[in-house]
A and B are shown apart, each in its own frame.
Chain A
Amino acid sequence: GENVEQHPSTLSVQEGDSAVIKCTYSDSASNYFPWYKQELGKRPQLIIDIRSNVGEKKDQRIAVTLNKTAKHFSLHITETQPEDSAVYFCAASTGAGSYQLTFGKGTKLSVIP
Chain B
Amino acid sequence: EAGVAQSPRYKIIEKRQSVAFWCNPISGHATLYWYQQILGQGPKLLIQFQNNGVVDDSQLPKDRFSAERLKGVDSTLKIQPAKLEDSAVYLCASSFGGNYNEQFFGPGTRLTVL
Give CA–CA (A101, B44) in the complex, Å: 9
**Chain A residues near B108 (CB-CB < 8 A):** 43
**Is chain B's binding surface mostly helix, strand, loop or mixed?**
loop
**Chain A residues near B31 (CB-CB < 8 A):** 99
- Is B43 an interface residue when CB atoms closer than 8 A count as contact? yes
Among B18-26, B77-85, B91-99, the one that faces the other chain is B91-99
- Is B56 an interface residue when CB atoms closer than 8 A count as contact? yes
Q: How many residues on chain A are close to B (CB under 8 Å)? A: 27
The answer to whether B48 and A98 have CB atoms under 8 Å apart is: yes
Give CA–CA (A89, B44) in the complex, Å: 12
Interface string of A33-45 (1 = CB under 8 A from B): 0101000001111
- Closest residue of B by beta carbon distance from A93: B99
- Is B107 an interface residue when CB atoms closer than 8 A count as contact? yes
The answer to whether A99 and B99 have CB atoms under 8 Å apart is: yes
Complex interface residues of chain A between 72 and 104 (CB less than 8 A to chain B) = 89, 91, 93, 95, 97-104
| Known A98-B48, A98-B55, A99-B31: A34·B42 in contact at CB below 8 Å | no
The answer to whether B107 and A44 have CB atoms under 8 Å apart is: no
The answer to whether A101 and B99 have CB atoms under 8 Å apart is: no
Give CA–CA (A89, B91) in the complex, Å: 15
Give CA–CA (A43, B100) in the complex, Å: 20
The answer to whether B101 and A100 have CB atoms under 8 Å apart is: no
Q: A95-B100, A99-B95 are in contact. List 15 more A-B contacts (CB 8 A).
A: A4-B42, A31-B99, A32-B99, A34-B103, A44-B43, A45-B105, A46-B103, A91-B42, A98-B56, A99-B48, A99-B99, A100-B45, A103-B42, A106-B40, A106-B42
Chain A to chain B: the 6 pairs with minimum beta-carbon distance, closest first: A95-B99, A103-B42, A43-B105, A99-B99, A44-B105, A89-B42
Pairs across A and B, CB under 8 Å, 20 listed:
A31-B99, A34-B102, A45-B105, A46-B104, A49-B102, A51-B100, A95-B100, A98-B55, A98-B56, A99-B48, A99-B97, A99-B99, A100-B33, A100-B45, A100-B48, A101-B45, A105-B40, A105-B41, A105-B42, A106-B42
